[in-house]
Structure 1
């Protein structure tokens, strides 16, 4: 009887040890990072820019893609094409386009409507086929 109790106690203890060892643990992040260590941010905040305000206002900082090149200078607004100023304008969604009269839409908007409508129709057909 004592032998059976000892064997079952060993099995229980070994199962608990395996559970403890196989448990995933994570390091505590409470301590300070060493100076010069890899990883986490050790500074208080972002570093101040060393560029003067004059340089910031006349050049596009960080737009240079060439190794030996320089950042391009900013031009007056009149030097840029008109379409550039409309790139971030909101365009109407498909539901709004469906509510409008198709015959009165400009060509570019009509083209976008056809594209969005075809895309929605294809998605609907695909979902119907997937259910069957």
Structure 2
């Protein structure tokens, strides 16, 4: 009787062991999972390059802001600022450009493609605003925000 019971438990235990799932393989030195990352990691030669941000200095001199277009030559190092010309030197079509938001949704005709594109865009903006309110940003104290870890 005792042998039958122990045999039953051994079979049940081995059946349980065979149904276990392993989500990640252990790290093997020099193998596919080197680096200790899930999914195999990325070798140093083929790794992703980090994007460096260009920091544009903020101009605070009022005379320079009134006479030059500051920050226009961001590609050139120590670029020369472009001076602002009088209005008569610019082409006439520049002053006739429409820079406002365009007609409201009520003023547009309902059977046009532009109407439905604008309606969809407004609905997406509204949905995104609701989602932002539903899931607010977590509170992170300023002490932790200002830490430089790298």
User: TM-score scaled to structure 2, two decimals?
Assistant: 0.34
Which is helix-richer, 1 or 2?
Answer: 1
Tell which has more relative contact order, 1 or 2 (C-alpha 8 A, sep 6+).
1
**What TM-score, normalized to structure 1?**
0.37
